[in-house]
Structure 1
Amino acid sequence: MSDALICGLAGAGGGIIAQLITYPLETVNTRQQMNRNSKTLKKTVGTIDQICQVVKQEGWDGLYGGLAPSLVGTAASQGVYYYFYQILRNRAETGAFERKRKGIGDGSVGMFSSLLVAALSGCVNVLLTNPIWVVVTRMQTHTRKDKDNHTKPVPSQGAISAVVEPPSYGTSHTIQEVYGEAGISGFWNGVFPTLFMVSNPSIQFMLYETLLKKIRKRRASSNKGANDVTALEIFLLGAVAKLGATVVTYPLLVIKSRLQAKQDICGDKRHHYKGTLDAIMKIIRYEGCCGFYKGMGTKIVQSVLAGAILFMVKEELVRGARWLLTGSAATSIR
């Protein structure tokens, strides 16, 4: 089994576990991003209070809307990302080694190369998996209130009006809805800000690998095993790296969610976005710069926790797979 395939499968497994643990926070965060009323910025409901509200009004199912396609998307995204990341990373390391043989550099992959590798892997991931996340966003933002609004009395021949029950808002219904609104292209709504958001994992990996490299150098210089990095240390490194990346790229996430959610075509034109630039201008005009940071506190908690869990689980899965295949506990991240 190739190294890239091991990393891809381990990344998918780690992503699924992280998603299962943090999904309610992600659902709440997506709904916070959809809040378009600038006045509510000063009266933001806390994350825990909002979770309680969703459970009270919609039941526990409300926190897990879109979980099934989200798990598929997470497995696909992490698998694709780590697979291509490892392939490109191996090529970058080979190039660095060849340069060292020629007397150029120290043989290690530089920060810029790490950033480029992560960015290219992210672009491939976005283009392949964006349709899944469009469906997930729709299902996360579909509330019981929306369902009630679709239930309309229909005049009947008698005195009593018939009530049309709305279709079950499952994955298949959501796919049909997106296709009915915009055709195939509708599944790539928000792809441009999402492509720019590849800088998030790029920054995350750059920070992560820089910190990991420093720890291993310190261990090596102190006569300890350079590869002796504990799961707790991996968890903390992943958390710090994800925190930095999330703070920098959060406005792009808000724009992406607004574009992927169901558009209010017949309602307030302020809530209907024709594209990325239109969304940016309307958020600035009607909500101010604060509109780009709605729900950031929740996202930081969710993404930092998910990122830390993903890194920790992925590292352990890779170590276990390599131990089974080679009989030695080799390091998983270079």
Structure 2
Amino acid sequence: MSSGGSGLFSYGSLVHAISGGCGSAVSMTTLYPLDIIRTRLQLQQKKPARVPLQEHDKDGVLAMLQHILETEGSSGLYRGLVPVVQSLYCSNFVYFYSFHGLKRAFNPNKAVLKDLLCGMVAGIINVMTTTPLWVVNTRLKMQGVALQHQQQPHQHYNGMIDGLMKVYKLEGIGGLWAGCNSSLLLVVNPAIQFMVYEALKRYWALQSGGADPSGLMVFMIAAASKTVATVVTYPLQLAQARQRHGGSTKCNRGLLHLFQAILRADGPTGLFRGLRAKLLQTVLTAALMFLCYEKIAAFVFALLLPSHSTSSRKM
């Protein structure tokens, strides 16, 4: 591993990876209840018209929050927190390392299309290595929660390792990569996010004479980039969540059949079920994550690589 800021295997890439992993862990821990609410809303199905009006009220963020508190208590808002943070740290470590390593492996010229390409390749690497972790933590978050479309009870999982072993034993290797097709399509989400984020940072540097953006500006840039990426790719994220959760034969018949089932049951609006909760959760989480990432990376570069800090941070 080279000590400088160049090359696929470099201390610079490692610092970016550690900083990205730590930033994501901090942001997710802080805003985890929103992720729980978002997951519940995504996995809900629209209720038939004959269901009493009060039963429709769980479709909102605040209504779902109240429902969880009433039925499960405050602990329900932190169901599955530890495996999610573990998975997110691993996922972002792989993604940040791959993204910045690939940028260095190409040429140092900064370009929007290069950011997009590096983001997509990094996303593919991330999906192929960390999908089993996300399959299990989605089920851990929903463990013990009854859903309308669930036709059979799920196994009880005692943590990440137990979950990985049981999924493999009962569903085979394919079960560990459930939703992988949608995940591969969704590599465009972080790719768009990083492309917009890097482009806005370069624009800010151009307008400010090369000055680094303030913490507030980093927060706003990250929020804007994540909003764009989320709205564009949300139907795929919804399908992915249902594939990973399982519990219904419809969830295991491919993306096309799943989209058709959602459209038949909920109409076109069903493809965007939970979008408001997703935007609230993912935009705030991404903004806080990038803020922590930038601060941690700046600190580590200044501490360990003072002679390379400027060049490494800007790659």
Q: Is residue 38–residue 288 contact of structure 1 (8 Å, CA) maintained in 2?
A: no
Please state how far the C-alpha of 1:291 moved relative to its aligned partner.
Answer: 1.2
Q: Is residue 92–residue 109 contact of structure 1 (8 Å, CA) maintained in 2?
A: no
- Correspondent of 2:20 among 4, 11, 18: 11
Report the CA distance shift for 1:49/1:115 in structure 2 as closer, same or farther (over 3 A). Answer: same
Q: What 5-or-longer segments of structure 2 have no aligned partner?
A: 4-10, 50-54
The answer to whether residue 220 in structure 2 is matched with residue 240 in structure 1 is no
Report the CA distance shift for 1:42/1:247 in structure 2 as closer, same or farther (over 3 A). Answer: farther
Give the greater-gyration-radius structure (CA): 1
Q: What 5-or-longer segments of structure 1 have no aligned partner?
A: 95-107, 151-165, 221-225, 266-270
Q: 2:177 — aligned with what?
A: 188
Q: 2-side partners of 1:179 and 1:291: how far apart?
A: 31
Q: Is residue 29–residue 299 contact of structure 1 (8 Å, CA) maintained in 2?
A: yes
Report the CA distance shift for 1:315/1:35 in structure 2 as closer, same or farther (over 3 A). Answer: same
Q: Which amino acid aligns with 1:278?
A: H
- Correspondent of 1:306 among 277, 285, 300: 285
Q: 1:135 — aligned with what?
A: 136
Within-5 A mapping of 1:88-127: 88-94=102-108, 108-127=109-128
The answer to whether residue 184 in structure 2 is matched with residue 204 in structure 1 is no
Q: 1-side partners of 2:156 and 2:278: how far apart?
A: 31
Q: 2-side partners of 1:305 and 1:137: how far apart?
A: 20
| Greater relative contact order, per chain length (Cα 8 Å cut-off, separation 6+) | 2
The answer to whether residue 45 in structure 2 is matched with residue 36 in structure 1 is yes
Matched-pair identity in % = 29
Please state how far the C-alpha of 1:169 moved relative to its aligned partner.
Answer: 5.5
Q: 2:310 — aligned with what?
A: 330
Q: 2-side partners of 1:109 and 1:200: how far apart?
A: 20
Please state how far the C-alpha of 1:39 moved relative to its aligned partner.
Answer: 4.4
Q: 1-side partners of 2:157 and 2:117: how far apart?
A: 43
Q: Which amino acid aligns with 2:180?
A: V
Q: Residue deviations 1:167-195, cap 9 Å, x none?
A: 67544553354234411210100001011
Q: 1-side partners of 2:145 and 2:247: how far apart?
A: 17
Within-5 A mapping of 1:143-292: 143-145=144-146, 170-172=159-161, 174-220=163-209, 226-265=210-249, 271-292=250-271
Please state how far the C-alpha of 1:272 moved relative to its aligned partner.
Answer: 4.5
Q: 2-side partners of 1:209 and 1:38: how far apart?
A: 42
Q: Is residue 135–residue 245 contact of structure 2 (8 Å, CA) maintained in 1?
A: yes
Q: 1-side partners of 2:305 and 2:157: how far apart?
A: 49
- TM-score, normalised by the number of residues in structure 1: 0.81
- Correspondent of 2:295 among 316, 321, 333: 316
Larger deviation: 251-260 or 84-93? 84-93
CA RMSD of aligned residues (A): 2.3
Report the CA distance shift for 1:254/1:232 in structure 2 as closer, same or farther (over 3 A). Answer: same
Moved over 4 A (4+): 38-44, 166-170
Report the CA distance shift for 1:83/1:171 in structure 2 as closer, same or farther (over 3 A). Answer: closer
Q: 2:6 — aligned with what?
A: none
Q: 2-side partners of 1:46 and 1:287: how far apart?
A: 16
- Correspondent of 2:274 among 295, 303, 321: 295
Q: 2-side partners of 1:60 and 1:171: how far apart?
A: 22
Please state how far the C-alpha of 1:46 moved relative to its aligned partner.
Answer: 2.4
Q: Which amino acid aligns with 1:47?
A: V
Q: 1-side partners of 2:23 and 2:157: how far apart?
A: 31
Q: Is residue 157–residue 163 contact of structure 2 (8 Å, CA) maintained in 1?
A: no
Q: 1-side partners of 2:99 and 2:192: how far apart?
A: 14
Q: 1:155 — aligned with what?
A: none
Q: 2-side partners of 1:136 and 1:168: how far apart?
A: 10
Q: 2-side partners of 1:167 and 1:109: how far apart?
A: 48
Q: Which amino acid aligns with 1:128?
A: T
Q: 1:162 — aligned with what?
A: none
Q: 1-side partners of 2:275 and 2:94: how far apart?
A: 27
For these two proteins, the number of residue pairs brought into alignment is 294
Please state how far the C-alpha of 1:42 moved relative to its aligned partner.
Answer: 7.0
- TM-score, normalised by the number of residues in structure 2: 0.86
Q: 2-side partners of 1:208 and 1:272: how far apart?
A: 33
Q: Which amino acid aligns with 2:280?
A: V
